[in-house]
Amino acid sequence: MRSVRNIILLLILCVTATGLPLYADSLNIESFSFNFSSEEELSFASEVTVVSPSHVKVMFSISTDGNSVPLSFDATEPVMVEIYSASQRLKSIPLKELTEELPPSETTISKDAPLNISLDINQVEINIPNGEYHLKITPNIKNFEPEAIYYSTPISFSSEFKYIPAVASIQNNQSALKLYFTDNDYFHLIPITRIIPYTSTPLRSTIDHLEMGADPALGLSTLSPIPKGVGLGLNGGTANVYITGDLNEYESNPSNAAIAYESFVNSLTSINEVNQVQFYFNNRIQADGFHGRVMSEPHKPSLGPSLYVGFVTETDRLLLTPIALKGTDASVTSIFNQLKYSGYSDLYSYYLQPPVPDELILEDYIIEDGKLSLMLNDVFIDIYKDNIQLQSFMVDSLLYSFTSLEAIDSVEFKVNERVITTLNGVALPSNTNRLFINPETQS
């Protein structure tokens, strides 16, 4: 046995002496192969072509340093393609989704006759948010250790969206209605501020404008989220909603029912004079309605912490959208981290963009008398100095997310112990009390 081991060690020394790289993680004494030296002759290269901010093409090549080498690929998965963010593996993408021409199962390559594999990578199709990534390409070649022959190349996506910052004020002859509309797939209920000529009847105006649907330019559903022909009344802080007619659409369809119910309650209680909503069906209070919801008592909006992230519409508007937290940890640190891609990668996609870049670090925080002070690293100052829209998206998200906590009324930003009140020429709001979220149109 000792003589066999000595022969193996001698072979290793001979290979090393030739100047070929020897990878420790590819060497397994128990499955040692005398023809493994061909592995060391493989060389990889890639050429990345940026077609658009959301589309790249990668030409991946396998060749040798000289001699011809026969290759035999795994028939099921000849090449594995994975997306990484830093060291975090995000997803694996089947090769057939990235190229129309799969590599042959058997081929021979050389320095002058490489194997080229063209990968067409579209951000929308692979469904990841803007950011910098690494593409890990692993050819599954028989008799080779996969981890020894992978190749990594950087790629990035920077799709452009239009974000309109929350409005700090409106004119005296105007009124602002907060209307909750849905996306076209009925997945998200999104608050939209519609600014109209001044009205002394905000209750009636809110219902009328919900029935009008969203402006088509928003890229949301243009259908009314609520049944039409609704009667209204106000008793103290209770808005009485009188619904008549055929409601089968809302009783039989859980998505329509949820959207209608939430749109009624959230839109109406955004009016200062309204605290809760009581539903009447054909002029009487029912035990249940809207697909089994209890209707015998008035309803208030669901309170609790939310993540305000960016929903991308069909017209490339970026809209702040409240999303439930991951898990039960509603601490400041947890919320801050979940607003990053690295902190909640399962949530984010092309259509749900994270508002806080991974480079921004929360160094510490203090809550005192309802004011949250965020101590941030100096990345906060410059990261979006050339993109004020994304800067506003980040700041608005932090404000709305943290003030959704019951204990927090306002937020201030600090860098190196200095309070930042203006960032790259833009005044930073400290609370959401007088902000109007997601203006429907640019003022």
* Residue 23 confidence (pLDDT) above 90: no
Element (DSSP H or E) covering residue 283 = none
Q: Are 181 and 190 in contact (CB under 8 A)?
A: yes
Residue-level pLDDT at 11: 38
CA distances from 6 to 3, 12, 17, 35, 252 (A): 5, 10, 16, 18, 77
* Residue 66 confidence (pLDDT) above 80: no
Lowest average pLDDT, out of 21-30, 158-167, 297-306, goes to 21-30
Q: Which range, 25-29, 143-147, 326-330, has the best average confidence (pLDDT)?
A: 326-330
pLDDT per residue over 295-335, tens digit each?
Answer: 999 999 987 899 999 999 999 999 999 999 999 999 999 99
Higher pLDDT: 328 or 19? It is: 328
Residue-level pLDDT at 145: 64
Q: How far is CA 216 from the centre of its chain?
A: 23
pLDDT-derived band of residue 142, with 50, 70 and 90 as boundaries?
confident
Q: Where are the domains of the chain?
A: 42-157, 174-294, 306-427
Separation of alpha carbons 20 and 34, rounded Å: 15
Average pLDDT over residues 289-296: 92
Average pLDDT over residues 113-133: 97
Q: What are phi and psi of 106, to 5 degrees?
A: -130, 130
Separation of alpha carbons 159 and 225, rounded Å: 30
Residue-level pLDDT at 246: 80
Place of tokens 């801050």: 336
**42-157: what fold?**
Immunoglobulin-like (2.60.40)
Write the burial class of residue 56 (CB in 10 Å: 0-12 exposed, 13-18 middle, 19+ buried).
Answer: buried
Tokens of 438: 């997601």
Indicate the residue type of 38. Answer: S
Tokens of 259: 């959207």
DSSP β-ladder status, 371-376 and 362-368? antiparallel
% of residues, the chain, pLDDT over 90: 79
pLDDT per residue over 334-345, tens digit each?
Answer: 999 999 999 999
Separation of alpha carbons 386 and 158, rounded Å: 13
pLDDT per residue over 219-240, tens digit each?
Answer: 999 999 999 999 999 999 999 9
Q: Convert 24-38 to b/e letters by CB count within 10 Å (16 or more is b).
A: eebeeeeeeeeebeb
Lowest average pLDDT, out of 17-26, 176-185, 199-208, 278-287, goes to 17-26
Edge-first strand order for the sheet with 79-85 is 88-93, 79-85, 131-139, 151-157
Residue-level pLDDT at 245: 83
